[in-house]
């Protein structure tokens, strides 16, 4: 389930090329999850790593995480906030 969640979230990613020719990527709805790299594939890899770190922290802290592709990682009644 977690792998499907990550893959589905990565399909939501948007990328752009900055003025300095670096690639920038982010996932809408995942505040603070972004990456920048000189090549698109490197940007994708960094973005996935940032997403994974963000999810681990969110799960440990009990944060409300976005529902992606119908997957809710923490049941709504389990949220502490």
Answer whether residue 69 shows pLDDT above 90. Answer: yes
Q: Where are the domains of the chain?
A: 2-71
Tell me the pLDDT tens digit for each residue of 23-56.
Answer: 999 999 999 999 999 999 999 999 999 999 999 9
Answer whether residue 74 shows pLDDT above 90. Answer: no
Angle (CA) 41-42-48 rounded to 5° is 90
Q: Given this structure, which CATH class describes domain 2-71? A: alpha beta
């Amino acid at each position: 389930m977690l792998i499907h969640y990550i893959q589905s979230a990565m399909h939501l990613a948007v990328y752009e090329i900055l003025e300095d020719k670096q690639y920038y990527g982010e996932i809408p709805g995942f505040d603070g999850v972004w990456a920048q790299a000189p090549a698109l594939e490197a940007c994708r890899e960094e973005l996935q790593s940032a997403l994974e770190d963000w999810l681990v922290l969110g799960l440990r802290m009990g944060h409300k995480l976005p529902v992606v592709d119908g997957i809710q990682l923490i049941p709504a009644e389990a949220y502490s906030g």
